[in-house]
Amino acid sequence: MRFSFAEVMGARTRYLHAGEGKPVLLVHGVGMSADSWMRTVPALAKIFFVCAPDLLDNGFTESGPYQGGPPQPYILDHLIALADHLKLEKFSVIGSSLGSTLAALLYLRHPERIDKIVIVGPGAVMSTPEEMGAVLRASHANGRSAIENPTYESCRARMARVVFDVATVPDALLMMQMTLYALPGALENFERRMRGLIDEAGLREFEVYSRLEKIAAPTLVLFGRQDPRGDFAQVMATAKRLPNAKVIVYERCGHWPHLELPEKFNADVLEFLTA
């Protein structure tokens, strides 16, 4: 697997990619980057072409046209522009945390281009706008704690608040977070994005909760029982509204199953995507 850069929608865009075959797009969450998929890409790339970008104004990807306000429409435009750049006419999409909401919004905007959907850490998708706001405010506080002071210890503490066992988080990911958070303007850009994500009008416009029944694509929902970013009973009940969904619950797992239980996660995703 390798990183490449491309000019996409006026933004220098970094993306991790590997493999050949049907395409799969991986969408990361708040304060993360393509590096969060480091344990996923090699496994899926045995069968698929896998692409994991740094989202617009995240990681090493520039902000392009995004200068403030809700970032969701800009990120969605950027993802489609990247797919066009890579000549991906139809693809499956895997989204983690906020990325799960973006994956669902991508389907709702372009259902003809999405083959299958995997929702990881589904609290964001299964929440009302008010609940989503609370989740994002918690993510904001947690992310800021590391970006304000980008040390190994602060990045590890940040991850410890959302995983079941912080020992499962690879040191390589923590080192990359330290690098990204130390970049000039990292805190200012993070604050701008979070203000846009928590904007009340934006929360209502870009929520998925009321539109779950419209997601007809085959959908796999992967949820850690100890995930602090979603109420277990509510997620399980709400997931039933998806017309064509399968739910898998991981025990002794928090918000990042692809990092915490990579072998199980990769096997389940491969089985779903190849079915």
- The residue written with tokens 């199980």 in the block is 264
Cα torsion angle, 157, 159, 161, 166, sign: negative
Write out the residue range of the structural domain in which residue 133 sits: 2-274
Q: How far apart are the first and last CA of the chain?
A: 24
* Spatial separation of the C-alpha atoms in residues 74 and 55, rounded to whole Å: 10
4-20: per-residue pLDDT in tens? 999 999 999 999 999 99
CATH code: domain of residue 141: 3.40.50.1820
Reported pTM: 0.97
Contacts of 273 (CB under 8 A, 6+ apart): 22, 24, 44, 47, 48, 92, 116, 118
Virtual torsion, Cα 130, 105, 4, 90, nearest 10 deg: 160
- Report how many domains make up the chain: 1
In which band, very low, low, confident or very high, does the pLDDT at 1 lie, cut at 50, 70 and 90?
very high
45-88: per-residue pLDDT in tens? 999 999 999 999 999 999 999 999 999 999 999 999 999 999 99
* Spatial separation of the C-alpha atoms in residues 177 and 87, rounded to whole Å: 30
